[in-house]
Amino acid sequence: MEKFSGQEADRNGITTLSESSWMLTFILNHPPYYQNQPAGVYVWYGIALYPNKMGDYVRKSMSQCSGREILEELLRHLKFDADVDRILDSSILTPCYMPLVTSQFLKRKVSDRPDVVPEGSTNLALTGQFVEVPDDCVFTMEYSVRSAQMAVSKLLISTKS
């Protein structure tokens, strides 16, 4: 990963392979990710924006692939061809199908999400990933927390008026 990214392994953050037909995105987490994680063991996390498209190297849709095939697709995109078999034989990949996880990244209009505090509301607020928080990016814990902070702030201000 250091050769690929030019940065120290597990320090380069999230990476999206825009040339991937699946639009693979992954992160190599800084160890230890899990308590008691052995030295030299790394945990990767990845998603695909288009899991139903045909893979570029493994000629199946991601949703039809085994964990080994998904990892092979990623490794080939990373040009780890010389090490593919060694890495595949020493890795465990557990696929998890989460069909709505990328829904936050789909095209939308601002009006597609409700305001945190709907206009005129004095005792109702909405929080989480599917409300409108101006100038922020969904898919972070901070987004959900910020929507809750906004809700409390706006409702407290409206009760003082």
Q: Which sequence spans correspond to the domains of the chain?
A: 2-89, 108-160
- For the record, the structure tokens of 20 come out as 């991937």
* pLDDT tens figures, 94-149: 898 877 776 777 777 878 889 999 998 989 999 988 898 888 877 777 888 999 99
* pLDDT tens figures, 23-40: 999 888 888 888 999 998
* pLDDT tens figures, 35-94: 999 998 888 888 898 999 999 999 999 989 999 999 999 999 999 999 999 999 999 988
pLDDT of res. 57: 98
> For residue 49, which amino acid is it?
L
**Cα–Cα dist 49/9, whole Å:** 24
**Helix, strand or coil, per DSSP, at residue 46:** strand
Which residues contact residue 19 at a Cβ distance below 8 angstroms, ignoring those fewer than 6 apart?
56, 77
Give the CA-trace dihedral at 127, 110, 141, 144, to 10 degrees.
-10
Q: What is the DSSP letter of 37?
A: P
Q: Given this structure, which CATH class describes domain 2-89?
A: alpha beta
Write the DSSP string, 119-140.
Answer: TT-SS----STTSB-TT--SSS
